[in-house]
Amino acid sequence: MQLSHHYATDLTETVSAVTPQPLSDLTLCLTNTALAEQFNLPTDWFTDQGIIEQIFSEQGALGKQAVAQKYGGHQFGQWNPYLGDGRGLLLGEVTDDKGAQFDLHLKGAGQTPYSRHADGRAVLRSTLREYIGSEALHHLGIPSSRSLCMFTSNERVYRELPEPGAMMIRMAPSHLRFGHFEYYFHSKEFDILDKLMDFTLTRHFPDCASQAEPHKALLKAITLRTARMVALWQVHGFVHGVMNTDNMSIHGITFDYGPYAFMEQFKSDAVFNHSDHEGRYAFDRQPGIALWNLNAMAYAFSRYMSIDDIKDCLTQFEPAFLAVYRQTMLARIGLDNDKEHEACLNQWLAMLAQNPIDYTQSFRWLASTDHDALTPALRDHFIDRNAFDGWWQDYRQRRQSSTESQASMLARNPAVIARTHTLQQAIAAAEQGDFSIAKQLLLALQTPYQSTTASEPFEQPDDSSETVSLSCSS
């Protein structure tokens, strides 16, 4: 295992050295063994106090060159230059056998110069939600940061109420956000912006660096990756909850989990963040907000390319988004990627919106239904039987010419997702020192497209009809 510090040493002007501060009575409670093995991380890190000493002791390798990154961001549409790693530290970078470099990033490690009078801590509730959520999306095939390990503590962290403190190490190709580029552009620190662009191209987008117009290639790559990520969010009914530009990764990965949720009943305008009073980050607004965020970041590229070239890159978002969305959604309902099938898909979604049935389960039921049946049992889940019957006859005819098998449908429609109420069950137990539910849920989420005895407790939707409202507080 080689631990490097390229970001900290190559971009010293963008970071502040910070010594990680432990919580009292830290205990390693969760470890992603497969991820640790992928990056050849020492096995003794994940026994007893191994990794805790590596981070917090004077001799430890992981805390020696820890840094907090400086960036800004548009928060709910308003520019805020006073941001940065307020509770997170970049510990360094590691590389796997295939040459993929990932950051090791510690969250909840205490105050930094960018904490803005906050305590720099994280609570168990939000830490466990991010740990599980990022792994859930990864195994669904949605690009995401990854969770390496999590620590719990007896020390209380004060939010609305005192809560157990926690820390986690997450991994990502980098922790570069849209807000990095925005900050150094708007602060007119163009020499640093130049270095940041060069670093990004050289270390993270070498294919773009080798092109005749590298900055245009970079903006296009970020645009296309973001379009794909958000399309997959929409496919699976995932709501990020707080798509500020400082929470958007240039790698097109789901990042900075806050008040996220998977929809249960399909509501196109679903909002789960109780701070989002105007619904800016509602489910159906996510694609538009992603493009808005790309536009905000693209100002930083105006030093390197013409406005027309910037527009050319950004106009590729919508067709890229629609192509991924249409192909993936049609495959979920067993139809070939043919634009003529869009009407059938849209009618299916309209029926889901009009009936109190679970979004994820409904696709799974459709995949499991005998498509030769004239009146399938699936019909009983819909209030308007006539509307379903008309749709079903049209759908059956389309299925007859489709190359999508029933097995392929089941492989695209998950049986288990990270539902809010199951996350809450895991949190409630963990706050009592019991991580067994969290571990069982994580195990089930590793194979989300398979229904097993182990996954069954996590497959059912919440039987409550209450609208879920989640807090940004972490």
**Structural domain that includes position 56:** 6-175
Final residue of a structural domain among 145, 160, 175? 175
Count of structural domains, the chain? 2
Residue 87 annotated as binding site = yes
For strands 122-123 and 146-158, give the pairing. Answer: unpaired
Q: Strand pairing of 146-158 and 27-31?
A: antiparallel
Q: What is the pLDDT of residues 20-46, one digit of tens each?
A: 999 999 999 999 999 999 999 999 999
Residues 143 and 212 in one domain: no
What is the H or E stretch that residue 139 is in? helix 124-140
Shared domain check, 104 and 38 = yes
3 state DSSP class of 320? helix
Q: What is the pLDDT of residue 468?
A: 65
Going by DSSP bridges, is the β-strand pair 162-172/238-239 parallel, antiparallel, or unpaired? unpaired
User: Do the annotations mark residue 84 as ligand-binding?
Assistant: yes
The whole-angstrom separation of Cα 303 and Cα 305 is 6
Q: What is the pLDDT of residues 259-274, one digit of tens each?
A: 999 999 999 999 999 8
Q: Please indicate, yes or no, whether residues 165 and 273 belong to a single structural domain of this protein.
A: no
pLDDT value at position 474?
60
pLDDT for the residue numbered 467: 55
* 191 among annotated binding-site residues: no
- Please indicate, yes or no, whether residues 157 and 82 belong to a single structural domain of this protein: yes
Whether 112 maps to a domain, the answer reads yes
- Domain stops at, among 123, 145, 175: 175
pLDDT < 50 stretches in the chain = none
Q: Are residues 153 and 181 in the same domain?
A: no
Whether the CB-CB separation of 55 and 63 falls below 8 Å is answered with yes
Q: Contact at 8 Å (CB) between 419 and 468? A: no
Assess whether 292 and 163 both reside in one domain: no
Given a contact cutoff of 8 angstroms between Cβ atoms, the answer to whether 140 and 448 are in contact is yes
137 and 285 inside one domain:
no
| C-alpha–C-alpha distance, residues 421 and 266, integer Å | 16
Per-residue pLDDT tens over the stretch 115-171: 998 999 999 999 999 999 999 999 999 999 999 999 999 999 999 899 999 999 999
Q: How far is CA 254 from CA 9, 211, 238, 305, in A?
A: 26, 27, 11, 27
Domain boundary among 175, 209, 240: 175
Assess whether 193 and 320 both reside in one domain.
yes
The answer as to whether 43 is a domain residue is yes
Q: What is the pLDDT of residue 469?
A: 64
* 119 marked as part of a ligand binding site: yes
220 occurs within a structural domain: yes
Question: For residues 444 and 452, is the Cβ–Cβ distance under 8 A?
Answer: yes
234 part of a folded domain? yes
Tell me if 444 is assigned to some domain: no
Ligand-binding site membership of 107 (annotated): yes
- Is there a single domain that holds both residue 14 and residue 123? yes
List Cα–Cα distances, 350 to 234, 367, 381, 438, in angstroms.
Answer: 15, 18, 14, 34
Catalytically active residues are 246
Given this model, what pLDDT does residue 394 score?
Answer: 97
Residue 136 lies in a domain: yes
Residues 267 and 404 both lie in one domain: yes
Q: What is the pLDDT of residue 471?
A: 64
